[in-house]
Amino acid sequence: MLHSMRYLFLLFSIYLFGVNMAHAEEMTNRLIHEKSPYLLQHAHNPVDWYPWGNEAFLKAKKEDKPIFLSIGYSACHWCHVMEEESYSNPEIAKMLNQYFVAIKVDREERPDIDSVYMSAVQVMTGSGGWPLNIFLATDKKPFYGGTYFPPEQLKNVLMAIVDAWENKRGDIAKSANELADALDGIAIASRKNEDIPDSIFTNTFERLFSQYDADHGGFGMAPKFPSPHTLSFLLRYYYKTDNKKVLEMVENTLNHIVDGGIHDHLGGGFHRYSTDREWFLPHFEKMLYDQAMLSKVYLEAYQITKKEKYASAARDIFDYVLRDMVSPKGGFYSAEDADSAYDIINPAKKREGAYYVWTWQEIMNVLGGEAGEVFSYYYGVKDGGNVGSDPRNEFTKKNILAVAYTEEKTAKHFKKPLQVIQVSLAVSKQKLFSVRVNRIRPHKDDKILADWNGLMISSFALGGRILHEQRYIDAAQKAADFILTQMEMKDAKLLHRFRDNAAEIPGFLDDYAFFAYGLLDLYEATFETRYLREAVSLVDTMLQSFGDKTSGGFFLTAAGEETILLNRTKEYYDGAMPSGNSIAALVLLRLNRITLKKDFEIAAGQLMNSVSGDLVRTPTAYTQMLIALDYYLAPTKEIVVAAKDLRDSTVGPIVSLIYSYFLPHKILLFRPVRENDPILLLAPWTENQDMVAGKTTIYVCENHVCKLPVTELEKLNKLLEVKDG
């Protein structure tokens, strides 16, 4: 009998398993075959999602249905909210499946698609963001769109679109054609060239100063993005003017960012942006590009001020990336999610920031009496929680760690020596971090993007030299070698994304510009000529495939790569990341100073002309482009180190001295004194820069006019102290 019951139970279990598997198959849509982590997050929605491609557009034409295009990225908090509220909702899914062809796009995989339709929504509504939701006619022309829609609003919008599609098709076609014409104008129109006044840098500073928040750092009110390229521009303006107010603005901002809740004080790294003016309450996603750009501006601030706080901030970022964001083969992962599980029993339920926040009791349980009190005082931890504005009730009785008092004030409050407080805080942070690693981590977007890796390679290379950390340079090399072997084709063409052992998607402008940018900094950190040679090859390809031969500048997509995109766009505006054109301009200029190839300087000049009108009218929107313009106008400091080889013991101290200075207009070359060295092919003007009296010799030149060579550190130091010009 028992045997028969077990047999029946087994049969029933097999039946249930089959039912569940069939149900799982029913709940799987086409996105299950994609590699994008964001698309895979929607692969089990009841929505009949299509990836971007001809299949979806042919279906829309055949069935005469409008297209619902939804664009987001895997670490986006409000994308997750909409996925949970709307795309997992059977009623909404039924509406989408019946009346629309639904397409899902990862904006990080396809920035070209995102660029076109973000522009459309900005034209329609005056603003944009993610998730981005757009309604298209069957010819891909947009006619309505927005960002986050709550479920009931989305239902109303869907029904209104259905009604208009059935009864007001002529109005839709007219609106779509007018908008498409406007987008064509934005994409291909030649920007009006204007003379750029000598006062452009001062005008930009004055506008930034008018927006500056002296109380909390940063610019404007809320939300606040770190915008490191704007701070880097200000550091260059300080270098030009010695205006102490400029440096004070940058330092105040960097101090508030590193002390604020936007900084992960336990695990390192920075969240994407702050929802408030005080840099306290962030959106908790961590993006690789933020780590790259923030670490660089902290390094630059350290070079200028020699303040250990800024070096520590850069190390904090680098150590976080090395611990959590590096693939086994060396490429850097893209992001960590904003949301994470708050209940270990039910890990499917997630809240924003759950991995990072603490109750007062949790902290006291880990740290105990006095150590807990010291930690809580320093970081503003409260028994009832320290989050004031909490509209979604995600942070009830929770605490976000942000420095509330200085170490000195904390020492005074507890009547302890400063060193005792510092040790206590360091030990407490390590204890809490050890506890936190046992929580369920946020989802990691493990795709590897060539452009974001380029930014991170640049920062690691610079950080390795400035901070005397070879492991940072090693990380930069490993990532660069990964991209060169796994994501570059034989004809110097890059692929954009690597994931799941496959590199796919033709590279965009940002991939070429950002990766070449990283290779240039990696060359200067290692003096391995192959990185310089690769940078030249990639920029040659960039000029050929992306250049606008008529109006100057570069398109986001290569000629002929995308045949079903509405139009090719050119992006100049520096947003959360610098634009590809801004970085391309700087790369072209740096390579021109190294190689003396006139084509590079001409292309950079044409690019500057193509954006000159916008630079004059709204310069604060183009601060990375202004960094390139500053490099274009300023005299370059060319530094050549001539020695037998890199093993010479005198080379290290020389390079360390050079990197101890903030030299925003420099190039640095190593000239091994041997025949037919590869550097002579890339920079033939270095041929006569030889060793003097058999000693390692340094040539410091300005616009390729060299001062007398030196062989002693003291004399080199005096030359470096003299600013460009």
Low-confidence stretches of the chain (pLDDT beneath 50): 1-25, 189-190
The two tokens of residue 662 are 């903030």
What are the φ and ψ backbone dihedral angles of 619, each rounded to 5 degrees?
-65, -30
Specify which residues 429 forms β-bridges with.
none
Cα distance between residue 415 and residue 542, in whole Å: 61
- Measured CA to CA, the distance from residue 360 to residue 342 in angstroms comes to 16
Q: Quick one: how many helices (H) and strands (E) in the chain?
A: 27, 19
* Cα–Cα separations (whole angstroms), residue 421 to 78, 236, 358: 39, 36, 21
CA-CA distance, 307 to 285, in Å (whole number)? 28
Q: Which helix (H) or strand (E) holds 565?
A: none
pLDDT of residue 725: 59
CB 127 within 8 A of CB 110: no
Rg (C-alpha) for the chain, rounded Å, is 28
pLDDT digits (tens, 9 = 90+) for 73-99: 999 889 999 999 999 999 999 999 999
User: CA 375 to CA 435: how far, in whole Å?
Assistant: 15
What pLDDT does residue 389 have? 80
- Burial (CB < 10 A; 0-12, 13-18, 19+), residue 705, is exposed
Q: Against a cut of 0.85, is the pTM above it?
A: yes
- pLDDT, residue 124, reads 86
Residue 479 φ/ψ, nearest 5 degrees: -65, -45
3-state secondary structure 134-156: EEECCCCCEEEEECCCCHHHHHH
Please name the residues in contact with 395: beta carbons below 8 A apart, sequence gap of 6 or more: 353, 357, 385, 387
Beta strands in 342-487 (DSSP E): 350-352, 444-445, 448-449
pLDDT given for residue 2 in this prediction: 36
Beta strands in 435-475 (DSSP E): 444-445, 448-449
* pLDDT of res. 11: 37
CA dihedral 217, 220, 225, 228 (to 10 degrees): -60
Q: What are phi and psi of 64, to 5 degrees?
A: 55, 55
Rounded CA gap, 7 and 67, in Å? 51
Tokens representing 61 are 């034409």
Contact by Cβ (8 Å): 278, 259: no
- Residue partners of 417: CB distance under 8 A and separation at least 6: 411
Q: What kind and span of H or E run contains 378?
A: helix 369-379
Is residue 671 within 8 A of residue 687, CB to CB? The reply is no
pLDDT of residue 19: 35
**Partners of 642 in beta bridges:** 671, 697
**Which residue's entry shows tokens 């920079």?**
683
Domains, the chain: 2-188 (3.40.30.10), 200-338+445-633 (1.50.10.10), 356-439 (no CATH), 637-721 (3.40.30)
Kindly state the helix (H) or strand (E) to which residue 609 belongs, with its residue range.
helix 598-617
Q: Is 458 exposed, middle or buried (0-12, 13-18, 19+ CB in 10 A)?
A: buried
CA distances from 377 to 359, 360, 374 (A): 14, 11, 5
